[in-house]
Amino acid sequence: MTPSVLSPAQPPQDRRAGVMLHPSSLPGGGVCGDLGPEARYFVNFLVDCGLSVWQMLPVGPTLSEGSPYQTSSVHAGNPRLIALEPLLARGWLLGLPDYTLEDPYRAQSTALGHAFAGFQAHAAAQERAALDAFSVEHAYWLADYALFRALWEEQGRPWWLWPEPLRDRDPAALAAARARLVEALAYIHFEQFLFFSQWQALRDYANGRGVRLFGDLPIFVAHDSAEVWARPQDFDLNPDGTTRTVAGVPPDYFSATGQRWGNPLYAWQRMEQNGFAFWIERLRTQLRLFDLIRIDHFRGFESFWEIDGSEPLATNGRWVKAPGAALFTRLTEVFGPLPLVAEDLGVITPEVTALRKQFGLPGMKVLQFAFTGEPDNPYVPFRHERDAVVYTGTHDNDTTVGWFESQSDAAKGYIYEFLGHSQEAMPWPLIRAALASRCDLAILPMQDLLALGSEHRMNVPGVAGYNWSWRFTWPMVAPETPARIRRQLEIYQRLVPGQG
- Our CA dihedral for 34, 80, 53, 426, rounded to 10 degrees, sits at 80
Q: What is the dihedral of CA 142, 144, 145, 148, to 10 degrees?
A: 160
Residue 194 to residue 314: CA distance in whole angstroms: 40
Q: Which of 53, 26, 9, 44 is nearest to 390 (CA)?
A: 53
In this structure, are residues 358 and 325 in contact, taking their beta carbons and an 8 Å threshold? yes
First-last CA distance in the chain: 30
Supply φ then ψ for residue 12, to 5 degrees: -60, -25
Compute the distance between CA of residue 89 and CA of residue 91 in angstroms, rounded to an integer. Answer: 5
Side chain identity, residue 407: Q
Residue 396 a catalytic site member? yes
Is 343 tagged catalytic? yes
Q: Write down the catalytic residue from 48, 127, 281, 396.
A: 396
Q: Quick check: is 132 catalytic?
A: no
d(CA 213, CA 53): 6
DSSP code string of 49-83: HT--EEE----S-B-TT--TTSBS-SSSPPGGG--
Residue 320 CB contacts under 8 Å (≥ 6 apart), including other chains = 303, 304, 305, 306
Please state, in angstroms and rounded to a whole number, the distance separating the CA atoms of residues 256 and 175: 49
Catalytic residue among 302, 343, 344, 387: 343
Determine the longest span between alpha carbons in the chain, in angstroms. Answer: 72
Closest to 400 in 3D by CA, of 372, 366, 377 = 366
The order of strands in the sheet holding 318-321 is 259-264, 245-249, 303-308, 318-321
Whether the CA torsion 484, 490, 494, 497 is positive or negative: it is positive
Closest by CA to 387, choosing from 365, 364, 362, 366, is 362
Q: Is the dihedral of CA 171, 177, 183, 188 positive or negative?
A: negative
Cβ–Cβ < 8 Å for 150, 185: yes
Q: Do residues 261 and 220 touch, judged by C-beta distance below 8 A?
A: yes
Q: C-alpha distances in angstroms, 64 versus 27, 34, 78, 99, 187?
A: 22, 19, 13, 20, 21
Q: How many residues does the chain have?
A: 500
Question: Of 272, 296, 311, 385, which one is the catalytic site residue?
Answer: 296
| Active-site residue list | 296, 343, 396
